[in-house]
């Protein structure tokens, strides 16, 4: 989850037929019907210090595994951010224990928090830094939402050639007027030829792998794991300040699911 400074509004359609979930098999899911499954989810704790304070984005939250910040409730995963005596507390979990996936459809059904300074995300990082440190080995942002730009949902990639630090961000956004009032399904579909982003099955952005692409443009030929987190403030989320009266704020996730074609590389 990185600061998306520049977004492209033009979609490049995949050079291969669009992936369809009916051509894939459900290979993993979590419906959050019981306690958080720690065999599937790693709980991140702390504020990134001393090596990565603010998680590279000057974020204000400290992540905890406390019930106030992270719990299952009524068949949902609840990530709740609170104003603390000094700063904020929130939660972040990853599917690193599962070993990651290469290609497929990765989805969640969720209701997003609102309020200036909120920054929930659903994203993916590589299991290994195969091509080097960020952004060389890639990042896939399936869903990001910043509270000062309410209901505008973003999907992006980060690579050595395409990232905000050099003014070459690749991504798209769309308006979902009920993002914080209703549950919606946020997905990325990914194969060796490209990716597409959908909300409730409707495509709003696609990125094609060009012929002759190197790892600088396309490092997405390796397993990636999924991440759910709720940041507060930061370079992007806090670009217009943080409204402390918006907290506590809830990020509610109904489920996370992964589909793959039978012939696709897996874990």
3-state secondary structure of 97: helix
Q: How many Cβ atoms sit within 10 Å of the Cβ of residue 67?
A: 11
Residues 6+ apart with CB under 8 A from 166: none
Q: Which residue has the tokens 């992007």?
A: 236
Structure tokens at 236: 């992007």
From 139, 160, 173, 189, active-site residue: 139
Peptide bond into 135 cis (omega under 30): yes
In terms of Cα–Cα distance, which of 101, 200, 219 is closest to 162?
219
CA distance 65 to 232: 16
Is 144 one of the catalytic residues?
Answer: yes
Is 252 one of the catalytic residues?
Answer: no
Q: Are 105 and 187 in contact (CB under 8 A)?
A: yes
DSSP secondary structure string, 16-28?
SPPP-GGGSEEEE
Q: How far apart are the first and last CA of the chain?
A: 23
Q: Are 146 and 119 in contact (CB under 8 A)?
A: yes
CA angle 76, 82, 85 (to 5 degrees): 155
From 59, 80, 144, 173, active-site residue: 144
Q: Which residues are the active-site residues? A: 139, 144
């Amino acid at each position: 989850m990185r600061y998306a400074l520049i977004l492209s509004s033009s979609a490049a359609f995949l050079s291969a037929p669009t992936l369809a979930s009916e051509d894939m098999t459900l290979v993993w899911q979590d419906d959050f019907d019981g306690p958080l499954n720690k065999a599937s989810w790693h709980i991140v704790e702390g504020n990134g210090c001393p090596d990565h304070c603010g998680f590279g984005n000057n974020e204000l939250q400290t992540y905890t595994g406390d019930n106030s910040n992270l719990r299952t409730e009524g068949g949902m995963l609840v990530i709740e951010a609170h104003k603390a005596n000094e700063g904020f507390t929130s939660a972040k979990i990853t599917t690193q224990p599962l070993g990651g996936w290469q290609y497929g459809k990765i989805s969640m059904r969720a209701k997003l928090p609102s309020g200036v300074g909120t920054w929930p995300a659903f994203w993916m990082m590589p299991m290994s830094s195969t091509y080097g440190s960020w952004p060389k080995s890639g990042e896939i942002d399936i869903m990001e939402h910043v509270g000062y730009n309410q209901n505008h949902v973003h999907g992006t990639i980060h690579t050595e050639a395409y990232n905000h630090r050099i003014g070459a961000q690749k991504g798209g956004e769309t308006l979902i007027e009920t993002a914080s009032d209703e549950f919606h399904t946020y997905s990325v579909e990914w194969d060796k030829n490209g990716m597409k982003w959908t909300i409730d099955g409707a495509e709003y952005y696609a990125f094609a792998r060009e012929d002759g692409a190197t790892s600088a443009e396309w490092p997405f030929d390796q397993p990636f794991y999924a991440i759910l987190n709720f940041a507060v403030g930061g370079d992007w989320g806090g670009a217009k300040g943080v409204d402390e009266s918006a907290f506590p704020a809830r990020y509610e996730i109904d489920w996370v699911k992964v589909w793959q074609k039978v012939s696709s590389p897996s874990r």
